Amino acid sequence: MTVVFLIVSALVVLHAEETAQWHREKGLAYYKAGKIEPTLEHLQQAIRLDPGNEQYYLDLGQVLAQSNAREAVVVVFEAAQKALPNSFRIQSALGVAYLAVRNYEQAKQSFSGLIKIKPDYEPGYQLLAECYDITQDWENTAKTAERLRALNAKNSHGWYYGASAEFGIRRPNGESLKTAASMVQRAMELAPNDWRPHLLLGKVLAEGHNDRDAVVSLRKAIALHSQDPKTYYILAQALKRLGREQESAAAFKAYEDARKNHAAQQRSLMVEIK
């Protein structure tokens, strides 16, 4: 009886260790310890054992995203969408993954779909506005930002994207940028630690030949976020126009360094989902 009991107990333990949840917990434990390969192995095994659990895909996607494995994140969430076509969280995550790899058309489709499902979903409008902004579709950027402000006037992104659209529409024709300046100032009031409104204000000021104040705003953007190459480039140009050659040269060098660092971060890992 004792021998039989021990064998049955061992089989129960073995079976428990083969569950999806066990692999998830094991994978997350490895991740906390900084061991990526076993993390990926266990999280993928959790998905194989329970492909209908959205959390397992989200866990794996998060680990890969934090490792800058952007293409792999897309692979994970495309597989997840096939397995869970009605999951709002998976569709949202897939849209963000497309945005990260600059597949803006697919990202737009994902975010537009989310908004149709939940018309008051603020992050959906925010991310959709981001896609339109990046692709310089200024009319749709403006419309989406306006809808976002109508949903929540205290959401700084509605003001930021509205200002960006105004700048994009008015600047080519040399039209007044007062509305853009006003809107970006509102965005800064609502989110003072967001670097992008400071960058946009710097661009607006520089376009209005106010390079001195533009430099102040651009330096603030860099203090909040020092990895963006284009901020250094715009700063260097403004400093050059002011005749501050030494500072301009330093800003151009910072631009080159930031651009090299940005390129070095573009790496990916392969992930297999079966």
Q: What is the mean pLDDT of the chain?
A: 90
Q: Cα–Cα distances in Å, from 229 out to 21, 100, 171, 250, 253?
A: 42, 17, 22, 13, 10
Is 50 exceeded by the pLDDT of residue 87? yes
Q: 103-128 pLDDT, tens per residue?
A: 999 999 999 999 999 999 999 999 99
Angstrom distance (rounded) from CA 165 to CA 139:
7
Angstrom distance (rounded) from CA 63 to CA 66:
5
The residue-averaged pLDDT of 237-243 equals 97
For helices 195-207 and 229-241, the axis angle rounded to 10 degrees is 30
Q: 192-237 pLDDT, tens per residue?
A: 999 999 999 999 999 999 999 999 999 999 999 999 999 999 999 9
Q: Which two tokens stand for residue 198?
A: 């400071």
pLDDT category, 189, cuts 50, 70, 90? very high
Q: 23-63 pLDDT, tens per residue?
A: 999 999 999 999 999 999 999 999 999 999 999 999 999 99
Angstrom distance (rounded) from CA 19 to CA 209:
65
Place of tokens 């853009």: 180
Place of tokens 């529409």: 169
- Percentage with pLDDT > 70 across the chain: 89
Angstrom distance (rounded) from CA 57 to CA 116:
24
**What does the pLDDT read at residue 271?**
44
154 CB-contact burial (10 Å; exposed 0-12 / middle 13-18 / buried 19+): exposed
Nearest to 17 by CA among 3, 271, 56, 9: 9
Contact by Cβ (8 Å): 261, 239: no
Helix (H) and strand (E) counts for the chain?
15, 0
Nearest to 201 by CA among 181, 175, 225, 226: 181
